[in-house]
Amino acid sequence: MSKKKLIVQKFGGSSVANVEKIQNVASRVANYRKEGHDLVVVVSALGDTTDELIELANKINTEASEREMDMLLSTGEQISVALLAMAIHKLGFEAISFTGAQVGIITDSSHTRARIVKINGERIKEELKKGRIVIVAGFQGINLNHDITTLGRGGSDLTAVALAKELKADECEIYTDVDGIYTTDPRIEPKARKILEITYDEMLEMASLGAQVMQARSIEVAKKFDVPIHVRSSLSKNTGTMIIREVKRMEDLLVTGITINKNEAKITVCEVPDRPGVAAKIFKELADAGVNVDMIVQNVSHLRSTDISFTVTKASFNKAMKQTEKIAKEISAGEVMQDEDVARVSVVGVGMKSHPGVAASMFDILAKEKINIEMISTSDISISCIIKKKFAEIAVRALHEKFGLGK
Ligand code: ADP
Ligand code: ASP
Ligand code: MG
């Protein structure tokens, strides 16, 4: 028998989408138990349950309170943990399911995007000592008022990483429907290649820029506490991708991955008076309204006014439009235009730090595909372009090929 380990395993919605898949997860978990390991299993809601619950809420009230949204969305994960425990019992193993609150995942009160403040791991440790497999509902916690909170979309990844840190687990495995992190979303580019090892920094950048496979905040926490993550498939035994602090490559890759994000919309305020304090007013008021602004572009103004464009997430789009129209009136700006038909395409790679010219190559590749760039932003290790949504996938495939990432 191999050395006894404590393993945190997280199974995403796609891995528990139906009865058969739940049974598959149960036998997978049971096999690890047979080898003598201690297991803490984090599960997401079945399939698209969370999306369906959001749709349901929207039918009742499009401006539902965030507290009630959390109350609703957290039920998805509660269903999965109970069903998985039952499936494991059926195989003759001891297992016990818990909500986030029951295992002491304490968060702040920012409903729908709460931050974990601390975890009281005692109950989990007690149950592990009794020889039970502990199953924890992902994506949720409780604040100091005992209100249920959720950790932002994809938040079960964060639950798993935070528990791995708290329990000093030997391994943290994220099981999903792909067998690792790829050079780009394999659903968009079948020629995408699996990356065997990727750094926290690159994964964080890819996740923040739209690679849905890992939640960005979970990578932040993993990086902070040095929790290595193994991303792998719930349907195969293949080794997946290790997300770690440092990857030993002779030379850093110029481009590690390409991401796509269709979850943003563009707002343009026309004829903004060109005087100090105006941008400050627009973006402060948006921030106060809880709108997260992403890319910002201001045109050079020859005259006395300028156009300011920025992007926001689709989720905060209505709120952002309302707020921006109000501010535009107050500062005597012109029309406020909206464009929901955009996508962000980004290239990510640590090698960019020391090699100029990646931006120029990216723009050239897009130009050759006759794709117009509407906005540009850069970081140390990424370059992003906002383009029309209908060209996004063509752009991803072209960039993937021209930067030499394909098979
Ligand atoms: P889960 O239900 O397990 O949480 P997600 O749907 O959140 O799974 O994430 C897995 C999906 O992420 C994959 O099916 C894939 O289409 C998508 N994805 C996007 N970018 C990448 C990438 N670079 N590598 C792997 N998968 C990616
Ligand atoms: N069920 C939640 C979501 O869909 C959390 C997760 O899947 O990680 O966002
Ligand atoms: Mg996910």
From the CA of 11, give the closest atom in ligand 1: 3
Q: Which of 156, 157, 159, 177 to mutate to test ligand 2, by most ligand atoms within 8 A of the CB atom?
A: 156
Q: Tell me, in angstroms, the distance from the centre of ligand 1 to residue 178's CA.
A: 7
Look at ligand 1, atom 11, and give the residue with the nearest C-alpha: 213
- β-pair partners for 188: none
Per residue in 153-208, pLDDT (tens digit) is 999 999 999 999 999 999 999 999 999 999 999 999 999 999 999 999 999 999 99
Q: Which residues of 76-91 are buried (b: 16+ CB within 10 A; e: fewer)?
A: bbbebbebbbebbeee
**Dist. CA 151–CA 155, nearest whole Å:** 5
Per residue in 326-374, pLDDT (tens digit) is 999 999 999 999 999 999 999 999 988 888 899 999 999 999 999 999 9
Per residue in 57-115, pLDDT (tens digit) is 999 998 899 999 999 999 999 999 999 999 999 999 999 999 999 999 999 999 999 99
Q: Quick check: CB of 153 below 6 Å from ligand 2?
A: yes
Q: Tell me, in angstroms, the distance from the centre of ligand 2 to residue 157's CA.
A: 8
Q: Check if the beta carbon of residue 311 is closer than 8 Å to that of residue 266.
A: yes
**DSSP per-residue string spanning 167-200:** TT-SEEEEEESSSS-BSS-TTT-TT--B-SEEEH
From the CA of 45, give the closest atom in ligand 2: 1
- pTM for this one? 0.94
Q: Quick check: CB of 257 below 6 Å from ligand 1?
A: yes
Kindly state the helix (H) or strand (E) to which residue 299 belongs, with its residue range.
none
Q: Tell me, in angstroms, the distance from the centre of ligand 3 to residue 153's CA.
A: 8
